[in-house]
Amino acid sequence: MEYFDLVSKDAFWWLFTLPVFMPSKNNNILDGHIIFSLAATFLLLGLLSWALSSGGVAWKNGRNRLGRVHIPGPRGFPVVGSLFVLSRGLAHRTLAEMASRRGNSQLMAFSLGSHPFVVASDPSTAREILTSPCFADRPLKQSIRSLMFTRAIGFAPNGSYWRLLRRMAASHLFSRRNILSHEAGHRLDCANMVRAIENEQRALGFVTLRRHLQFAALNNIMGSVFGRRYDELRDREDLRELTEIVAEGFELLGAFNWSDYLPWLCHLYDPLRVEERCARLVPRVKRLVKGIIDEHQIDGRPVGVCDVGSDDFVDVLLSLDGEEKLQEDDVIAILWEMIFRGTDTTALLTEWVMAELVLNPDVQKRLQSELDQAAAGEGRTTFTHADVANLPYLQAVVKETLRVHPPGPLLSWARLSTEDVHLSNGMVVPANTGAMVNMWSIAHDPKVWDEPDRFLPDRFLTEDVDVRGGDMRLAPFGAGRRVCPGKNLGLAVVALWVAELARGFDWSQQPARPVDLAEVLKLSCEMKHPLCAVAVKRSSHIISV
Ligand code: HEM
């Protein structure tokens, strides 16, 4: 074994080609024997390099042995590596189980077809990956390229264009000042949602929460980005188009597309028709976003309710000049990404919180009591962002939900190494390797958290854990230079919604459709079966926005 370790695995490749040069009966170059020998040679070579590469086919030629300590990992199958295992089911759970069974929690190498990946399931390696400037790019899938996302913040390569976008978004969309300037809009969306829930409960005797959360999330982000809010009746057509486009985009970005990892498959096997569907979606996206921009430019201020005293993000992007001036397609891509990211994460995180509150009536009661006291103390009928930021139990409930159900369990948007990266444990991750952090695994690791499978918000009352990227035991927004720029907005909105929903209603199981915490992993990890619950209005609650 040592011998093989020292000698490059491909050193003997020429032995297998010898039959080709042997004389054959009729010296015909297309002799059947020759063809057979060649095929057998390549097959043997392939099998040999696969058999000798821990981590699988993409780690051949000793790629995982560049450092003092080699990166261990499963071989998977020849050619496809671990594709079969990870294409089905819940990749975060499968990878967690594999890493723990093999003792590869620090770092595990695996192959997705010809693409090498590593996954860290331990806080200190996670920190090194997320905070290293050498992991500031992201691997790209076909759908990301086709849907223009390489021109938006999330997938733009690390460089001056990406830095400009981050700077713009940080100061004009996600800053504290900006979040507060849109507060009136956030509270309005929340009050409308509470009313719609009340109506649905009255009509049906139960509520399916997801639709309401997604609509409020859409209006929140449309308000901050475009200064435009939708009305379900007045804007029925626009809304239908927008929600269809967003849903199709999610489906395409979240789809497991085999040809992303085996490029030669793209013309042979595309069961989801990713390429064709992306090509059809892009003109619709452009038409829709361009329409809103045009409306914006004509009117100065678009229709719908505007947030007072704030420039929206479109104004800012359109005002860039000189070297910073953006092409129209760039502006469309950036705005499209914001709609996309803003509608997904906040809604699905709130749905997880509410599911846990239904399943844990004691936690719900304790939260309601904190909310009632705060409301009485402030003499308010609805909460502000500042109110909810100071409610420790509410914050603990949101953090515990982020721990048990991180929306991006594998920090869905992986990183890519731009050069060989030397880790402090002696391993070297070669350039062009995809790197994931299994946040789900860290957040469910009994060595990191006591009783990790129980929903216990109290754990965050005794210890202040920074969930915004400062503590790798729980970093659901990632960390380092590509940390989620929307984290403050996301947390502020979710806390406000949970506060109003928990103070407004008593939530309980609907006997015909009990709460099911099964997950489905798309672009984010969401409830497989949308939460359906009985929401009885609490007498203490009056809405007055
Ligand atoms: C609960 C809410 C949210 C969660 C859990 C979440 C999670 C994440 C995660 C895990 C990443 C990858 C970070 C990394 O690679 O280190 C990310 C990136 C990103 N998120 Fe969020 N996010 C949330 C809300 C939002 C919102 C509301 C927006 C915008 C409206 C947003 C916009 C983005 C963008 C643009 C990136 C890419 C950053 C870059 O590559 O430079 N997120 N988010």
**Residue ranges of domains in the chain:** 146-537
pLDDT of residue 342: 86
% of the chain with per-residue pLDDT over 90: 62
pLDDT over 50 at 7, yes or no: no
Going from the Cα of 402 to the center of ligand 1, the distance in angstroms, rounded, reads 13
> Tokens representing 395?
């914050």
The residue whose C-alpha atom lies closest to atom 43 belonging to ligand 1 is: 484
- Give percent of the chain above pLDDT 70: 88
Inter-residue contact 490 to 484 (CB < 8 Å): yes
| Structure-token pair, residue 182 | 């849109």
| Model confidence at 77: pLDDT above 80 | yes
Which carries the bigger pLDDT value, residue 337 or residue 25? Answer: 337
Q: How confident is the model at residue 186 (pLDDT cuts 50, 70, 90)?
A: very high
Residue whose CA lies nearest to ligand 1 atom number 3: 345
341 versus 35: the higher-pLDDT residue is: 341
- In the numeric block, the tokens 């020292």 are attached to 6
- Look at residue 430 in the predicted model and tell me its pLDDT: 97
Model confidence band, residue 541 (pLDDT cutoffs 50, 70, 90): low
Which tokens sit at 539? 């007498």
pLDDT at 311: 63
Which residue would you say has higher pLDDT here, 40 or 439? Answer: 439
User: Ligand 1 within 6 A of 411 CB?
Assistant: yes
For residue 153, the CA-to-ligand 1 centroid distance in Å is 10
Q: What per-residue confidence (pLDDT) applies to 309?
A: 44
What are the φ and ψ backbone dihedral angles of 202, each rounded to 5 degrees?
-65, -40
The answer to whether residues 194 and 215 touch, using CB atoms and an 8 Å cutoff, is no
Burial 166-205 (b: 16+ CB within 10 A, else e): bebbeebbbeeebbebbbbbbbbbbbbbbebbbebbeeee
User: What DSSP line would sit under 261-310, residue for residue?
Assistant: TSGGGTTT--TT-HHHHHHHHHHHHHHHHHHHHHHHHHHSS-SS---TT-
Residue nearest to atom 41 of ligand 1 (CA): 482
Q: Whose CA is nearest to atom 16 of ligand 1?
A: 478
d(CA 446, CA 490): 28
Q: Is the CB of 477 under 6 A from ligand 1?
A: yes
Query: CA of 499: how far to CAs of 222, 344, 404, 437, in Å?
Result: 22, 19, 19, 31
The finding on whether 223 has its CB within 6 A of some atom of ligand 1 is: no
Is 278 annotated to bind a ligand? Reply is no
Considering only 9-13, 179-183, 271-275, which range has the smallest mean pLDDT? 9-13
For residue 338, report the distance from its CA to the centre of ligand 1, in Å. Answer: 10
CA–CA gap between residue 121 and residue 100 (Å, rounded): 9
Give distance in angstroms: CA of 85 to centre of ligand 1.
27
Q: Evaluate the CA torsion angle 67, 69, 73, 75 in order and state its sign.
A: positive
Query: Comparing C-alpha atoms, which of 366, 189, 218, 224 is closest to residue 307?
Result: 224
User: Is pLDDT above 50 for 207?
Assistant: yes
Q: Which pLDDT does position 256 carry in this prediction?
A: 84
Stretch 266-272: mean pLDDT? 78
User: Given ligand 1 and candidates 222, 250, 484, which is best to mutate, with the most ligand atoms within 8 Å of its CB?
Assistant: 484
Q: Is the CB of 492 under 6 A from ligand 1?
A: no
Report pLDDT for 235. 85
Asked whether the predicted pLDDT for residue 303 surpasses 50, the reply is no
Average pLDDT of the residues in 418-425: 97
From 193-197, 241-245, 354-358, 367-371, the region with the lowest mean pLDDT: 241-245
Residue 218: is its pLDDT beyond 70?
yes
Q: Looking at ligand 1, which residue's alpha carbon is closest to its atom 32?
A: 486
CB 116 near ligand 1, within 6 Å: no
Query: By mean pLDDT, which of 30-34, 173-177, 425-429 is the weakest?
Result: 30-34
Q: How confident is the model at residue 45 (pLDDT cuts 50, 70, 90)?
A: low
Which of 72 and 239 is assigned the larger pLDDT?
72
- Show Cβ contacts of residue 445 under 8 Å, excluding neighbours closer than 6 positions: 105, 121, 122, 452
Nearest residue CA, atom 30 of ligand 1? 342
- If one residue of 341, 397, 489 were mutated to test the ligand 1 pocket, choosing by the most ligand atoms within 8 A of its CB, it would be 341
pLDDT of 157:
94
For residue 11, pLDDT over 60 is answered with no
> Is the per-residue pLDDT at 21 higher than 50?
no
409 close to ligand 1 (CB < 6 Angstrom): no
For ligand 1, the distance from its centroid to the CA atom of residue 169, given in whole angstroms, is 12
Of 489, 536, 213, the closest CA to residue 349 belongs to: 213
Q: What is the pLDDT of residue 61?
A: 87
What is the overall mean pLDDT for the chain? 87
Q: Which residue owns the Cα nearest ligand 1 atom 40?
A: 154
Position 14 pLDDT exceeds 80 = no
CA of 483 to the centre of ligand 1 (A): 7
Confidence of residue 271 (pLDDT cuts 50, 70, 90): confident
> Is pLDDT of 91 > 90?
yes
Q: pLDDT value at position 493? A: 96
Q: Which of 43-47, 316-320, 505-509 has the highest mean pLDDT?
A: 505-509
Query: Ligand 1 centroid to 396 CA: how many Å?
Result: 21
Q: 177-191, 299-313, 358-372, 452-466 — which is least confidently predicted?
A: 299-313
Burial (Cβ within 10 Å: 0-12, 13-18, ≥19) of residue 129:
buried
- Is pLDDT above 70 for 198? yes
Least confident of 13-22, 105-114, 188-197, 323-332: 13-22
pLDDT band at 322 (very low <50, low <70, confident <90, very high): confident
Contact residues for 130 (Cβ-Cβ < 8 A; gap 6+): 411, 415, 437, 469, 472, 475, 478, 479, 480, 482, 483
Mean pLDDT for the stretch of residues 318-341: 89
Ligand 1 neighbour 221 (Cβ under 6 A):
yes
Mean pLDDT of 241-250: 90
Decide whether any atom of ligand 1 lies within 6 Å of the 158 Cβ.
no
Q: 44-58, 96-110, 308-322, 324-338: which range is least confident on average?
A: 44-58
CATH class of this structure's domain 146-537: mainly alpha
Going from the C-alpha of 198 to that of each of 208, 341, 351, 443, the distances in angstroms are 11, 27, 17, 35
Per-residue pLDDT band at 27 (split at 50, 70, 90): low
User: In terms of pLDDT, which residue wins out, 102 or 412?
Assistant: 102
- Is residue 47 very low, low, confident or very high in pLDDT (cuts 50, 70, 90)? low
